[in-house]
């Protein structure tokens, strides 16, 4: 059994932050011009928020990405593992550029990045409650250019491949049996054709052996043996040829 679910979410971050409270910027050269804002972020628990400080004002998306990776190590770093599930989190570079100088968009991004561990935990627990207790095989989160979030996940009730191997073996046996059955039918058909050919040959041979030969009967009566013999030959041959030549009868 396998399952893949894709969900898209967008445009629900418009009013979840309180007005940002700006604090002094960092002295780090890479963060020159960066400001820290205190915001209220939603949590996976309905109605519960948390106060968090986020940074904006980065000069490049790369610098902003490094800042986020310091807080959310799973973002744009390839496949990692949570709850034993291989997972990846990808954030569009175009959306990072939109967030790096916009506290409201930045708050939306960080709120969702922070919620990912709880979401993966929910995925793992949900699959365990499914019939057959399947295992979640992967989880992928993609935040696109417009901030829409796509989640994809798959699960299987055959994590060690035992069922797949048994099914493959069964299919192999069925295919082998079908091939043997087909081969047997071909052999029987060939044998039947050979028998028909043999009978046909026997019939033709019998017909040939039964072909009627012509029999000729002739008789003649007379007082001269030569004349009588010539009459018989003439009757048999059905010819009017003179047969006296070279015929010498002795009395």
Domain boundaries, the chain: 2-158, 160-206
Residue 168 has pLDDT above 60, yes or no: no
Distance CA 210, CA 207 (A): 5
Distance CA 183, CA 185 (A): 5
- pLDDT tens digits, one per residue of 65-100: 999 999 999 999 999 998 888 999 999 999 999 999
Distance CA 154, CA 139 (A): 7
More confident residue, 85 or 126: 85
Query: What's the pLDDT at 207?
Result: 75
pTM of the model: 0.55
Mean pLDDT, the chain, integer: 78
Terminal C-alpha separation, the chain = 116
More confident residue, 50 or 14: 50
Contacts of 118 (CB under 8 A, 6+ apart): 44
């Amino acid at each position: 059994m396998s399952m893949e679910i894709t969900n898209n979410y967008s445009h629900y971050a418009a009013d979840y932050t309180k007005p940002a409270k700006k604090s002094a910027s960092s002295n780090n050269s890479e963060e020159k011009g960066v400001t820290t804002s205190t915001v209220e972020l939603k949590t996976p628990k309905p109605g519960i928020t948390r106060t968090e400080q986020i940074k904006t004002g980065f000069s490049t998306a790369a610098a902003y990405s490094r800042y986020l990776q310091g807080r959310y190590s799973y973002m744009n770093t390839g496949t990692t593992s949570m709850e034993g599930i291989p997972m990846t989190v990808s954030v569009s570079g175009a959306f990072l550029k939109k967030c790096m100088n916009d506290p409201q968009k930045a708050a939306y991004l960080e709120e969702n990045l922070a919620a990912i561990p709880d979401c993966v935990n929910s995925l793992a627990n949900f699959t365990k409650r499914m019939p057959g207790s399947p295992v979640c095989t992967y989880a992928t989160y993609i935040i696109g250019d417009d901030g829409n979030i796509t989640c994809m996940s798959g699960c299987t009730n055959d994590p060690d491949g035992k069922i797949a191997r048994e099914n493959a073996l069964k299919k192999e046996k069925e295919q082998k049996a079908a091939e043997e059955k087909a081969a047997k039918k071909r052999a029987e058909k060939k044998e039947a054709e050979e028998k028909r050919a043999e009978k046909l040959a026997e019939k033709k041979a019998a017909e040939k052996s039964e072909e009627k030969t012509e029999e000729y009967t002739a008789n003649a009566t007379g007082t001269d043996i030569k004349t009588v013999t010539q009459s018989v030959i003439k009757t048999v041959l059905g010819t009017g040829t003179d047969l006296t030549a070279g015929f010498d009868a002795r009395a």
